């Protein structure tokens, strides 16, 4: 999911089937990357959507994602939502009519929390890192008020203790 309340608002106002021009992402600052200027078709709208995060023991944990929309652009389906959160479950897609099991490639914007939900339906899980505000390589984040000599930047943060 792309957290982009502005795009969600525009898509909801336009309605399912509408073709609109949007500027997706890149709104919070340089570390967020450049926005994408796209012409999209609104394919689904789900107000106050909740995803169900699979748990090892028990029922899935409901995680609110806010209003969500499915957008289609040049053969690619994109999910945008209004409440900032990671993708935990394939139902983020299926609730909006995008069937994850039918896709050859599914890109999930999440650090690790996606794994329990997506591993069972994936033939391969590939981790990748793109530039951005929260890179998975902590040494690459330009911290200014953190002791970089400690965990998780060194193998054994307690060796000096």
Q: 21-44: per-residue pLDDT in tens?
A: 999 998 887 877 889 999 999 999
- What pLDDT digit, counting tens, does each position of 104-119 carry? 999 998 878 899 999 9
Q: Which residue has the tokens 């689904």?
A: 44
Measure Cα distances from 109 to 10, 55, 86, 149 in Å.
22, 19, 7, 29
Q: 57 pLDDT exceeds 90?
A: no
């Amino acid at each position: 999911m792309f957290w982009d309340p502005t795009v969600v608002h525009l898509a909801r106002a336009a309605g399912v089937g509408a073709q609109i021009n949007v500027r997706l992402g890149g709104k919070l600052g340089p570390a967020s990357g450049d926005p994408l200027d796209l012409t999209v078709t609104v394919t689904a709208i789900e107000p106050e959507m909740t995803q169900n995060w699979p748990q090892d023991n028990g029922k899935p944990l409901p995680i609110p994602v806010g209003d969500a929309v499915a957008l289609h652009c040049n053969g690619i389906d994109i999910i945008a939502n209004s409440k900032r959160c990671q993708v935990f479950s394939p139902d983020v897609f299926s609730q909006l009519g995008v069937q994850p099991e039918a896709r050859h490639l599914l890109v999930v914007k999440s650090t690790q929390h996606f794994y329990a939900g997506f591993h069972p339906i994936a033939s391969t899980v590939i981790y990748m890192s793109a530039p951005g505000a929260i890179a998975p390589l902590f040494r690459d984040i330009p911290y200014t008020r953190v002791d970089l000599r400690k965990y998780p930047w060194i193998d054994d943060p307690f060796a000096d203790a």
